[in-house]
Amino acid sequence: MNDTATATDNTPVSTPASRRVSPWWRALAIFLLLVLLMGWAANASMMTQLKAQIQHAQARLIEVPQIRQVAVLLDNQQQPAMLVTYNPKNGALLVQRLNEVKEGREDSMQVWAIAGDAAPRSLGVVTSKYKTLQMPVKETDLQGVTEIGVSAENKGGVATGVAPSLPWLFKGWLVQKSI
């Protein structure tokens, strides 16, 4: 026998390596792809929800009253009697009773703007017996005003240009709130 023949006969026959991917690797790749897609979908959903919440918060902020002026009116014993706030967006003076003082049958409480030494200007009559009421007031009516006062007047209040009855029932400084 020939040495070369035996050498070639004894060499193991090499078969090409299998190029197939293991089923486990395929399953892992599909699983990771699904996890990636679910993560992307969750992120997109959360971003949409966040944008909606921001828009909702911005809309609510616009609706919130922007109080610019505040006055706490005190009675003769220096106890809080009324809280007066002004919201220029609504053009309304919000008057809130802090005590139990009410008008008589033939009386009205009238709200006055006091600007230094100038004659007090009427802002309106408290027409409600409820704790809180809104009075329409223009922003220009409060320019230069330093104090707010309340007087007891005959039913319906005094006519324009007539001075209030004194002494004041309640009076307090009008404070400009910084925004």
pLDDT at 2: 53
SS3 call for 143? coil
Helix (H) or strand (E) holding 6: helix 3-10
Last residue of a domain, one of 44, 63, 82: 63
List the domain range (segments joined by +) for residue 126: 69-176
Long-range contacts of 93-97 (CB under 8 A, 24+ apart): 93/123, 93/124, 93/134, 93/135, 93/136, 93/137, 94/132, 94/133, 94/134, 95/126, 95/132, 95/133, 95/134, 95/135, 96/131, 96/132, 97/131, 97/132
Alpha-carbon dihedral of residues 15, 20, 25, 30, nearest 10 degrees? 180
pLDDT, average across residues 59-86: 86
Q: Return the higher-pLDDT residue of 106 and 153.
A: 153
- pTM of the full predicted structure? 0.62
Q: Which whole number is the average pLDDT over 129-157?
A: 86
**Confidence band of 101 (pLDDT split at 50, 70, 90):** confident
- Number of folded domains in the chain? 2
Q: Identify the band that residue 90 occupies on the pLDDT scale cut at 50, 70 and 90.
A: confident
Beta bridge partners of 126: 109
Shared domain for 101 and 147, answered yes or no, is: yes
Q: What is the chain's mean pLDDT, rounded?
A: 83
- Are 152 and 172 contained in the same domain? yes
The model's confidence at residue 39, banded by pLDDT at 50, 70 and 90, is very high
Final residue in a domain of this structure, among 41, 63, 85: 63
Is there a single domain that holds both residue 52 and residue 84?
no
Amino acid identity for residue 159 in this structure: A
What percentage of residues in the chain have a pLDDT greater than 90? 28
Domain membership of residue 31 (yes or no) is yes
Say whether pLDDT at 5 is over 90.
no
Pairwise pLDDT comparison (137 vs 162), residue with the higher score: 137
User: Lowest-pLDDT range, 8-12, 29-33, 134-138, 155-159?
Assistant: 8-12
Q: What is the pLDDT of residue 122?
A: 87
Q: In this structure, are 131 and 88 located in the same domain?
A: yes
- pLDDT at position 31 is 95
